[in-house]
Amino acid sequence: MTLALGLIGYPIGHSLSPWIHGQFMDKLGIDGEYRLYETTKANLGETVKLLKSKQVDGFNVTVPYKQDIMEYLDELDPDAEKIGAVNTVVSKNGTWKGYNTDGQGYVRSVKSDFPDVFRPENKVLLLGAGGAARGIYRALVQENFASIDIANRTIDRAKSFLELKENHIETTILSFEEAESMLEHYDFLVQTTSVGMKPNIDSKIIALNKLKHDAVVSDIVYQPLVTSLLQEAKVRGGRIHQGYAMLLYQAELAFEIWTNETVGLDGLLNKLELRLRGKE
């Protein structure tokens, strides 16, 4: 089996995806390639044509084209359609179908570390309401929680998430000040904004003074590997979940869609952490 895969985005020179999918192929003994198709917006249509003519088996899509790619696809997975963004495309008999594995990948990554978080009575607080948060909120809504609140700087953006909600979930939209003041209420905090990312490593989206002991605090920022939010959470008795694992889990799901094979991430999480540590 020779697999032809790739990534569309801009800029993507530093993407870890070729390395990750290369590891998957090695692990499963699959022969193939994962190529970078760095594309300006004006050339997106041309790149899509190129991928069609090459008859690739599938590809990933990253910023800034997760929405733009949708007009070129023949079919959308219902969740990708709801989220309004695609990060994985699979080709089957010449037709292209789009999926979004970001949110489900994120949920898988937390489940593998902290399965106990997914109890219906646990209260979830999502920090941020950008593109990444949208996929994550949708995936969390499909879990058993009764309550997932959202705090964002721009309240209207968070309100638009209510269209992704299911009836069994209660969602209240909060300012960061409100979220801070009632933090002891939450069992699981999910930080999805870019705040705290290199080079602004001292920035924190909220203060954790009122963090519940034993709460799980998760940050999708992975550069630095331990953000200042996670450092504070640790000091206050929280349990921390680092963002780099999501990279592997969303890729694993994409690889499953392309090949129907389950990779298994044993060993790879450590390898990726070491690789990222080398860049700190």
Active-site residues, by number, are 66
Is 171 marked within a binding site?
A: no
Pinpoint the alpha helices (H) of the chain: 17-28, 44-53, 78-83, 102-113, 131-141, 155-159, 176-181, 228-235, 244-259, 268-277
**247 contributes a contact to ligand ATR by CB under 6 A:** no
CA 138 – CA 83 distance, rounded (Å): 7
Is 243 marked within a binding site?
A: yes
Pick the binder of ligand ATR from 152, 218, 228, 259 (CB under 6 A). Answer: 152
105 vs 131, beta carbon nearer ligand ATR: 131
Q: Where do we find the tokens 């990726």?
A: 272
CA 78 – CA 82 distance, rounded (Å): 6
**157 contributes a contact to ligand ATR by CB under 6 A:** yes
Q: How far is the CB of 179 from ligand ATR (least distance, A)?
A: 12
Question: Restricting to residues 189-208, which ones interact with ligand ATR according to CB under 6 A?
Answer: 193-195
112 vs 194, beta carbon nearer ligand ATR: 194
106 vs 258, beta carbon nearer ligand ATR: 106
Pinpoint the alpha helices (H) of 88-243: 102-113, 131-141, 155-159, 176-181, 228-235
Q: Is the dihedral of CA 20, 23, 28, 30 positive or negative?
A: positive
Pick the binder of ligand ATR from 105, 131, 135, 196 (CB under 6 A). Answer: 131
Regarding beta strands 216-219 and 239-241, do their DSSP bridges make them parallel or antiparallel, or are they unpaired? parallel
Omega before 64 within 30 of 0, i.e. cis = yes
**129 contributes a contact to ligand ATR by CB under 6 A:** yes
CA 133 – CA 238 distance, rounded (Å): 22
**9 contributes a contact to ligand ATR by CB under 6 A:** no
Is 130 marked within a binding site?
A: yes
Q: Report which residue's Cβ sits closest to ligand ATR.
A: 130
Give contact residues for ligand ATR (rule: CB under 6 A).
128-133, 152-154, 157, 193-195
Q: Which residues are annotated as part of the binding site for shikimate?
A: 15-17, 62, 87, 102, 222, 250
